[in-house]
Amino acid sequence: MLKISNAANFRRTLGGLCLIVAPVLQVVDEKISPGNNSTWSASGELETVTRQNGLFVESAYLGILAGILFIPALLAILHVVRGRGVVLAHVGVGLTLVGIVLFMFVSQGANLMVSVMGMPGLDPTAMTALLQHALGGTSAVTSAWLGLFLEIPGLLLVGLAVWRSGFGYRWAGPLIVLWILADTFNPFHSEVVGYLIAAMGVVGLGAIGLRILTMPGSAWDSAPSPANHPAPVQVPHAEPVVGS
């Protein structure tokens, strides 16, 4: 139960909910986003945005919201991963956070800019030239692609970290790894396969979020080590005996 006055409970609940909601929003953003063509052109992009301007804006806002929610979600994973997965978790979360900032925020911000160019009343020729100059291989595009290349190995390491730490459901970490690999090297151009791959990410991250929501508050507060790596026992310091 969410208790705003309890800082630890609030962080645990927020992190667990974000792990469930953020991947869902990301999938919805990807599926409703118009103009996902393999060959990009300024004129074709502007034509698509002009025809589906409202959907384009909604997709951009969903992507930005998903990126925001991924931040507390990843920090929650960083809090619960212990033992053999701690180094992988720190590196993976760091790469993923940088990737989210560069890819999701920069690309969605650019999409909002493009949506303004596609509004009625603007000169299509001038807007096409502006779009070609703005997104035709500029630093914004480079930053977005760099973010994607960082996010992919980052999430792979996060999945491995969850699996090696033994936290929660043992299949959640490998499912995240399988999701990233399938999404990156998917040879099938099928909508059904795309939905199945996206479902792996939603289920894998959502399972970690569910485990965080259902874990005892004391376990979150103390952040115990896994069962095969018990935390060291602290022996109370004895007071010196004063002789008579």
Centroid of chain to Cα 129:
33
Residue pair 25/66 in contact (Cβ under 8 Å)? The answer is yes
Centroid of chain to Cα 95:
11
The pLDDT of residue 5 is above 70: no
The pLDDT of residue 118 is above 90: no
Half-sphere exposure of 139 (CA within 13 A, CB side): 0
- H-type alpha helices, the chain: 7-32, 42-51, 53-80, 86-99, 106-117, 124-135, 139-165, 172-184, 191-214, 217-222
Residue of 183, 189, 230 whose CA lies nearest to 205: 183
**More reliable by pLDDT, 41 or 8:** 8
φ/ψ of residue 97, rounded to 5: -65, -45
The pLDDT of residue 238 is above 60: no
Identify the sign of the CA torsion 187, 189, 190, 193. Answer: positive
Residue pair 178/168 in contact (Cβ under 8 Å)? The answer is no
**Average pLDDT of the segment spanning 67-96:** 94
How many Cβ atoms sit within 10 Å of the Cβ of residue 116?
12
Give the predicted TM-score (pTM) of the model: 0.81
- Please give the pLDDT value at position 240: 55
**More reliable by pLDDT, 166 or 5:** 166
Taking only the tens place, the pLDDT of each residue in 201-224 is 999 999 999 999 998 877 787 654
